[in-house]
A and B are shown apart, each in its own frame.
Chain A
Amino acid sequence: MTGGIRGPGGRVRRARRALLTRLATRCLVTAMALPQTLLGLLEPAPRHGYDLKREYDARFGEQRPVKSAQVYATLGRLLRDGDITVVGTERVDGPDRTSYALSAEGVTHLERWLAEPEPSTAHLQSEVYVKVVLALRSGRPAEQILDAQRDAHLGVMRGLTARKRGADLPTTLACDFTLFHLEADLRWIEHTAARLHRLAEELS
């Protein structure tokens, strides 16, 4: 796409930037509530965007570091919505850096988000369940699907447990979060493995 055909280049560039911003924010918000997380990181003291990105990555960005562009786009939206304000601009041998602070409104939004429980993701079915049902219906050994899934989960659990060795408490608890969830998955796998014969009967 070139700017020339659609009139003044500035407008096209702005429109494109807005689209990218929307895409960028959308994909991240689903991963980890970025706007609210940035509000939380900003609360103790004013910071500039790059600082926020670094702290986000260090604390929460293990699976998926946030892109600088996503941080700046989100800050732009928070600024527009009045959740943050600009408190200064400094130049440290390089680009200008804008510092942001949380507004009273931002604190309110942050507190509302903190207080609100996350939706309990009560998936009634998982892909593993679908595989088991399809295998049983086609006469394939469903037990092996459960065994393979169990081996994969156990491998990840060993890796996380090894990482906890000598790790600090934030890292340990982050690993534990996933360990407890995988443990729950494995309990379902055992529970199902013990009932495969009956499941096969009821499906046929």
Chain B
Amino acid sequence: MTGPLLVADDLHLAFGPTRALAGASVEVAPGEVLALLGPSGSGKSTLLHCLAGILTPDRGEVRYRGTRLDDRSDEARSRLRRNDFGFVFQFGSLVPELTALANVALPLQLTGARRRAAEEQARSWLERLGVADVAGKRPGEMSGGQGQRVAVARALIGGPRVVFADEPTGALDSLNGELVMEEFTAAARDQGSSVVLVTHETRVAAYADRSVVLRDGRLTAAPAWA
């Protein structure tokens, strides 16, 4: 496919009196790692949720592979999130009652894979991210860095076209954060998944292929005279 994989076109969204998005437009190319940078409250998470079809904008449209997201039924949108998208959040990406292995295997089982086959693949993803040793542990028994590596494995295992990551290293110290980013972006690039990465840290954004900056609900423009 040529052209962008995902497009946000002039999105507006208000929460009551708060204008979270005020004309945000952005495109994500296939296989591209794109960082959404900006200060806290600038609308990064809201834009990510709109791009992923979790929130519907008041105005403007989101197009995934050429067709509008907001035209689809809730059912179709959650199928899309299950089949085509992966998610990593700052906290709570994992099911607390399940082991790391079961957490990573879950997306494959939800799309119909047998448990044994799913767990075999999950194990190789845990290895790839350097956390095979926590396979039998629950999220509460892992360090922050281990938990985020498991969350990355879980987001990538289904071979999603797009991974949405909201401050994935926000709870980690800077060295651990960098190691997770290194492994996350390398694995995503290897399998050709696009990544939409929300962060307020420029050193984290530097792992992307491109950065755009949000301020007050819209993207900053390139200089008019340049």
Interface residues of A (CB under 8 A from B): 141, 143-145, 147-148, 150-151, 153-154, 157-158, 160-161, 164-165, 179-180, 182-183, 186, 190, 193-194
In the complex, 25 of the A-B residue pairs with CB atoms within 8 angstroms, ordered by the A residue number, are A141-B224, A143-B220, A144-B221, A144-B222, A148-B222, A150-B213, A150-B220, A153-B202, A154-B202, A154-B211, A157-B203, A158-B206, A158-B209, A158-B211, A160-B206, A161-B203, A161-B207, A165-B182, A179-B203, A179-B206, A180-B203, A183-B203, A186-B202, A190-B39, A194-B39
B223 and A182 contacting across the interface, CB-CB below 8 Å: no
The 6 closest A-B pairs by CB, nearest first: A157-B206, A161-B206, A144-B223, A148-B223, A186-B202, A147-B220
User: Nearest chain-B residue to A184 (Cβ)?
Assistant: B202
For B37, the closest partner residue in chain A by CB is A154
Complex formed: what's the CA distance from A183 to B208 in Å?
A: 15
Total interface residues in chain B, CB < 8 Å: 22
Q: A144-B224, A147-B220, A147-B223 are in contact. Are A193 and B202 (CB under 8 A)?
A: no
Distance between A170 CB and nearest chain B CB, rounded to angstroms: 17
Report the minimal beta-carbon distance from B211 to chain A, rounded to whole angstroms.
5
A148-B223, A179-B203 known; A165+B213 contact, CB < 8 A: no
What is the distance, in angstroms, from A157's C-beta to the closest C-beta of chain B?
A: 4
CA distance A151 to B221 in the complex (A): 10
